[in-house]
Amino acid sequence: VALAAWAGVLGGCGTPGPRVNADDPSLASVAERSNYTQTARHAEVVALLDRLAAASPLARRVDMGHTTEGRAIPMIVMADPPVATPEEARQAASPGKVVVLAIGNIHAGEVDGKEALPMLAREILLGDQRGLLKDLVVVFAPIYNADGNERVGNNRPTQNGPALTGIRENANGRDLNRDFIKLEEAETTALVGFMNAWDPQVFIDCHITNGSLHRYLISYAGPKGPATDAELVRFCREEMFPAIARDFEASTPWKTFWYGSFGGVFSEDPRDRSTWGTFPAEGRFGTTYAGLRNRLSILVESYTYAPYKDRVLGTRAYVLAALRWAAGNARGVHALLRGADARAIEAGRTGAPVALRSKVGPFPEPVTILGFEEEFKDGRPVSTGRTKDYTCALWDRFEATHSINRPRAYAILPGPVGEKLAAKVRQHGLRTTVLSAASGPRGVEVHRVRAMEPASRAFQGHVLVKIDTEATKSQRALPAGTVLVATDQPLGTLAAYLLEPMCEDGLGTWNAYDPWLKLDGEIGVWRVIE
């Protein structure tokens, strides 16, 4: 059904139009045309992608889906030979091409990716970067949060241009980069649908930082958290990101480093300059979520106080370095991800542990952070403009504080709560089976609620809840209509992450288990262990 749906959203650019050169003014971004004072509206991005696609036989225009307000989420797909459907993308990936998806504007005030991605598309299709298509299928969705983009105003007053941008949230007032577990928004539904259908091996998400003071034009992060395949996390940290950083710094005048801020979100002390900390390892973040799906991910954060032009060109250069890396390591990428999928399947068969809660800590080696001498004005740090280097502990290492042995399967009991849960796990791309008749007694583990702790305030339309349970072995018949989610599938780790009630960011966190939350009550999702 998903594949058929994709055939229906093809843009009409199958026939080559008149050929134009890369320097044709009609192929310039709004940032370029305005001398870096403005950013594009939705119609301008769509028109530019249409012109780019018309200018090259290697490009196709496809829509990812539609926003809350019904705007198309436009994509340009670049491949040689061209690719327009998930079947074609998977065919291209099977002999070893890497499918890369890069999105811009998930936070629509953070416009640099929206401008940089079409510029890079132009270079790939008509300029010097065409060789990338020997090893890559490149998909750009520059204006992912299209509704937020159209709410134009002075929405990021401390950002170093452009003066007018969209807002952070979508039309429902939701932060799309917190929606990847609950999947409530049309945009996230479209993006995860794309991931399920096209299976991009690399996911790139372009942002702008929110105010920490440092000298990195681009900062970055990737898969994280102890639930994620450990080899995938290690590979990104020790191999992929250092290689991309070397290329970026060798090919530009700029510096790049792990995303973070002094103290990070973990420190209470705004004057702490001894730690450099990242953000939590929760699956609600897109790049973390892609990691939980055993895929490579790259968070790109340009520096909000850098000039708009530098930020756009820096985002372009960083994404290009990432593409060059993926093209040069296509075989290694496929081997790594095949391994991660196989390990997930095997972990489901053997009942290997999966981490449900985590804490962050420092790496043993200190790092040097390129910053500025700062002054505090009204309790907030302000740069003096004079550079200063800080020796910091890098708080970017997550370890498990609570793990469980994963079961063979999860049994979602029939009923209104279970029905919604089953639909949600399918939306994530998990394979499920439904029992047409009751099964005899099976060995299961049943969760009893020991504590539930709602958050003190609402977040993203929810009051998040931390659930503690005790799981006890039991012999139970599974009723007809039970939905089984096997863990020996490539997304098996994600199944445990979503369905375990004690997970720090599972579906239960987002209130899917609320009707079951009574002290000593049973959760209607059982672990099937025999």
Footprint of Zn ion (CB under 5 A): 107, 110, 207
Q: Which is nearer to Zn ion, 107 or 527 (CB)?
A: 107
Strand arrangement, sheet containing 380-405: 261-262, 275-277, 380-405, 353-377
The distance from CA 511 to its chain's CA centroid, rounded to whole angstroms, is 22
Q: How far is the CB of 281 from Zn ion (least distance, A)?
A: 17
Cα separation, 236 vs 244, whole angstroms: 10
Q: Of 255, 275, 254, give the one whose Cα is nearest residue 266.
A: 275
Q: How far is the CB of 322 from Zn ion (least distance, A)?
A: 17
Q: Which is nearer to Zn ion, 256 or 482 (CB)?
A: 256
Cα separation, 36 vs 314, whole angstroms: 13
Q: How far is the CB of 107 from Zn ion (least distance, A)?
A: 4
Residue 2 one-letter amino acid: A
Q: Which is nearer to Zn ion, 107 or 406 (CB)?
A: 107
Q: How far is the CB of 147 from Zn ion (least distance, A)?
A: 16
- Spell out the residues 6+ positions from residue 147 whose beta carbon is closer than 8 angstroms to its own: 67, 68, 69, 71, 108, 170, 171
Q: Which is nearer to Zn ion, 196 or 278 (CB)?
A: 278
- Spell out the residues 6+ positions from residue 265 whose beta carbon is closer than 8 angstroms to its own: 277, 279, 280
Q: Which is nearer to Zn ion, 80 or 110 (CB)?
A: 110
Q: How far is the CB of 165 from Zn ion (least distance, A)?
A: 12
Q: How far is the CB of 182 from Zn ion (least distance, A)?
A: 18
Q: How far is the CB of 491 from Zn ion (least distance, A)?
A: 26
Tokens at residue 483, please?
């939905």
Q: Which is nearer to Zn ion, 153 or 211 (CB)?
A: 211
Q: Which is nearer to Zn ion, 40 or 413 (CB)?
A: 40
Cα separation, 135 vs 327, whole angstroms: 5
Cα separation, 340 vs 344, whole angstroms: 6
Q: Which is nearer to Zn ion, 107 or 293 (CB)?
A: 107
Q: How far is the CB of 218 from Zn ion (least distance, A)?
A: 13
Q: Which is nearer to Zn ion, 289 or 513 (CB)?
A: 289
Q: How far is the CB of 324 from Zn ion (least distance, A)?
A: 24
C-beta of residue 373 within 8 angstroms of C-beta of residue 384:
yes
Q: How far is the CB of 212 from Zn ion (least distance, A)?
A: 13
Angle, vertex CA 514, rays to CA 513 and CA 515, nearest 5? 95
Q: How many CB atoms lie within 10 A of CB 481?
A: 17
Q: How far is the CB of 311 from Zn ion (least distance, A)?
A: 13
Q: Which residue is nearest to Zn ion (CB)?
A: 207
3-state SS of the chain: helix, strand, coil percent to 5? 30, 30, 40
Which residues make beta-bridge pairs with 439?
A: none
Q: Of 158, 129, 162, 127, give the one whose Cα is nearest residue 20.
A: 127
Q: Which is nearer to Zn ion, 287 or 489 (CB)?
A: 287
- Spell out the residues 6+ positions from residue 198 whose beta carbon is closer than 8 angstroms to its own: 86, 89, 90, 99, 101, 139
Q: Which is nearer to Zn ion, 207 or 311 (CB)?
A: 207
Helices (H), 300-398: 308-328, 330-350
Angle between helices 112-126 and 308-328 (to 10 degrees): 50
Q: Of 474, 476, 354, 341, give the one whose Cα is nearest residue 407.
A: 354
C-beta of residue 218 within 8 angstroms of C-beta of residue 388:
no
Q: How far is the CB of 429 from Zn ion (least distance, A)?
A: 24
Q: Which is nearer to Zn ion, 107 or 428 (CB)?
A: 107
